[in-house]
Amino acid sequence: MRVLLAEDDEALVAGLRPALERAGYAVDVAGDGVTALLAAASTDYDVIILDLGLPRKSGVDVLREWRAAQRTMPVVVLTARDTWQEKVTVLNSGADDYVCKPFHTEELLARLAAVIKRSAGKARPTGPLTRGNLSLDETTQSIRLDGGDPLALSSIEFRLLRCFMLHAGQILSQQRLIDHVYDNSTEHDSNVIEAHVTRLRRKIGREWIQTRRGQGYVFDAPPAP
């Protein structure tokens, strides 16, 4: 999952960024509203965390521009003022959810996971992601097959599998997977994705992930034998 953290409070960013990375997100940071608009113009984020009080362009103005341009990525707003009028403004401007500062990181992570699942068409804000007999527990970053023992995934395997499960049955190109798994500052090349897909196949069974030559990969539950 690729997240844009649009926040100018450097102390908050310094605390939140590692927590988001531990939770399996690739994190880009924008320190003002104009930079946030530019970042989202070039990258297809899975979710955006948007501070309302941003310099250069306010969070509400940024959000209104995205929605006016039919950009539908989920946006969770961070607001410092806990008034009902502001919550109404935020929701009417197209926010999917909001968190009032100061907040617990766990609450923000839970709200992010919920809006991502809703936007992927899965109205099931709690519990593991499942497909066929495979389930992925996002809190422990481990899988179970047929209800067996949990099997731990590496950070990249977890990010890849979550992306596959949220887009089951769809062709995902290597570039799309790279965009969802790595942030802008991480060096990578497409061969790396292939290596991680190979390792993931060893853990879940290779029949789960089909290669489409020249197009990418398709993840889905294999047909019953």
The footprint of Ca ion (CB under 5 A) covers 8, 51, 53
CB of 30 to Ca ion, least distance (A): 12
CB of 139 to Ca ion, least distance (A): 29
Give the integer Cα–Cα distance in Å for 116 and 121.
Answer: 9
End-to-end CA separation in angstroms for the chain: 32
Give the integer Cα–Cα distance in Å for 123 and 120.
Answer: 8
CB of 54 to Ca ion, least distance (A): 6
CB of 94 to Ca ion, least distance (A): 19
Nearer to Ca ion, 8 or 61 (CB): 8
Residue 75 parent element (H or E): strand 75-79
Nearer to Ca ion, 51 or 179 (CB): 51
Nearer to Ca ion, 83 or 154 (CB): 83
Give the integer Cα–Cα distance in Å for 135 and 129.
Answer: 6
Nearer to Ca ion, 31 or 216 (CB): 31
Residue among 135, 128, 136, 133 nearest 146 (CA): 133
